[in-house]
Structure 1
Amino acid sequence: MTRYSTYAPEFAIEIGGARIPAALRGAITRISYTDGIQGADRVEITVANDDLRWLDHPLMQVDQRFTLSLGYAPDPLEKVFVGEITGVSASFPGGGMPTLTVVAHDFLQRLTTGTKDRGFQIDIPTIGQFPIPDPAVVSFVAATNLLIPDVDPVGAALSFLTMLLAYATTPPGEAQRGVRVQRSQSDFDFLSGIAKDNGWEVYIDHTADPQGFVLRFQFPLSDLTPSVSLTWGGSLADFTPRLTTVGQVAGVQTKIWIASIKTELTVVLGWDFDRAAFDLQVFPGFLSAEDVLGEEKSRGVLKVDALGAATMPKTLLSELVPRLNNRLTGSGSTVGNLAIKAGRVIDLKGLGEQFSGLYRITSATHSIDGGGFRTSFDVRKEVWFGSIPTPRGVAGLARVNGQRIG
Structure 2
Amino acid sequence: MASTLTSLYDESQLQHGFYVPQFQVKIQGVGLPRDVLRDVIQITYHDNIKEIDGFEITVNNWDPSTRQFKYVGAETSSTQRGLFDLTDKTVEVWMGYATDMRLMMKGTFTTLEPNFNAGTPTLTVRGLNALHQLRRKQYSTTWNNKRDSDIATDIATRTDGSAAGGAKRFPMPLVINSQARDKEAILPYVAQNNQYDIDFLMGRALKLGYVFYLAEGDPSASDPQQQQQHVYFGPSDGMGPGMRDVTFRLRWGASLTEFKPTLTTARQIRSVTVNGWDPARKKAISVKASIDDKDMKVNADLHPLIDAADAHDEVVVNKPVQSEDDAKRMAQGILKDRLKEIVKASGSCVGLPDLRAGRQVVIEGLGARFDGPYFILDTSHSISDGGYVTHFNARRESTGSLEGLQ
Deviations 1:284-343 (A, max 9, x none): xxxxxxxxxxxx989322414332325534533442332222221101101112232222
Partner of 2:368: 353
User: What is the distance in 2 between the residues matched to 1:207 and 1:273?
Assistant: 41
Q: Which residue of 2 aligns with 1:59?
A: 83
SS at match of 1:191: helix
When structure 1 is superposed on structure 2, of 1-10 and 18-27 the one drifting more is 1-10
Residue type at the aligned position of 1:182: Q
Residue of structure 1 aligned with 2:44, choices 13, 32, 44: 32
Aligned mate of 2:266, from 242, 246, 270: 246
Q: RMSD of aligned C-alpha atoms?
A: 2.9
Partner of 2:234: 218
Alignment of 1:194 with 2:204, yes or no, is: yes
Q: Match of 1:76? A: 100
Task: Answer yes or no: is 1:135 the counterpart of 2:149.
Answer: yes
Output the CA distance in 2 between the equivalents of 1:324 and 1:37: 18
Match of 2:254 in 1: 234
Give the distance between the partners of 2:310 and 2:176, measured in 1 at CA. Answer: 37
- Measure the CA separation in 1 of the matches of 2:15 and 2:331: 51
Q: Taking structure 1 as the reference length, what is the TM-score of the superposition? A: 0.76
- Gaps spanning 5+ residues in structure 1: where? 121-129, 167-177, 279-295, 388-406
Q: Distance in 2 between matches of 1:229 and 1:207?
A: 25
1:348 Cα deviation after fit: 1.2
> Match of 1:181, SS?
strand
Q: Give the Å deviation of 1:359.
A: 1.1
Partners of 2:20 and 2:311 in 1: CA distance? 57
Partner of 2:175: 150
For the 8 Å contact 1:155–1:198, the answer to whether it is kept is: no
- Preserved contact between residue 288 and residue 328 of structure 2 (Cα < 8 Å): no
Q: Distance in 2 between matches of 1:352 and 1:277?
A: 19
TM-aligned CA deviation for residue 142 of structure 1? 3.3
The correspondence of residues 144-183 of structure 1 with structure 2, limited to 5 A, is 144-159=169-184, 162-163=185-186, 178-183=188-193
1:87 has 2:102 as partner: no
2:31 corresponds to 1:19: yes
User: For the Cα contact (< 8 Å) 1:334–1:374, is it kept in 2?
Assistant: yes
Identity percentage of aligned residues? 26
Describe the shift of the 1:317–1:260 C-alpha distance in structure 2 as closer, same or farther (beyond 3 A): same
> What is the CA distance between 1:216 and its match in structure 2?
1.9
Question: Which residue of structure 2 lines up, in the alignment, with residue 7 of structure 1?
Answer: 19
Q: Does the CA contact (< 8 Å) of 2:24 and 2:95 recur in 1?
A: yes
Amino acid paired to 1:230 = L
Confirm or deny: 8 A CA contact 2:271 2:290 kept in the other structure.
yes
Q: Residue 257 of structure 1 aligns with which residue?
A: 277
Report the Cα distance in structure 1 between the residues aligned to 2:280 and 2:360, rounded to whole angstroms: 45
- Provide closer, same or farther for how the CA distance between residues 326 and 152 of structure 1 changes in structure 2, counting only shifts above 3 A: farther
Deviation, 1:385, is 5.2
Name the CA shift for 1:305/1:198 in 2 (closer, same or farther; >3 Å). farther
- Is the 8 Å Cα contact of residues 109 and 125 (structure 2) preserved in structure 1? yes
1:49 alignment counterpart: 61
SS at match of 1:41: strand
For 2:149, the aligned partner's letter is P
Are the counterparts in 2 of residues 83 and 212 from structure 1 also a CA contact under 8 Å?
no
Q: 5+ unaligned residues in a row in structure 2: which ranges?
A: 1-12, 63-67, 76-80, 158-168, 219-224, 240-244, 299-308
More helix by share: 1
* Contact residue 23 and residue 93 of structure 2 kept, 8 A: yes
Find 2:194's aligned residue among 175, 184, 190: 184
Whether 2:291 is the aligned partner of 1:268: answer no
- TM-score w.r.t. length of structure 2: 0.76
Q: CA deviation at 1:10?
A: 0.8
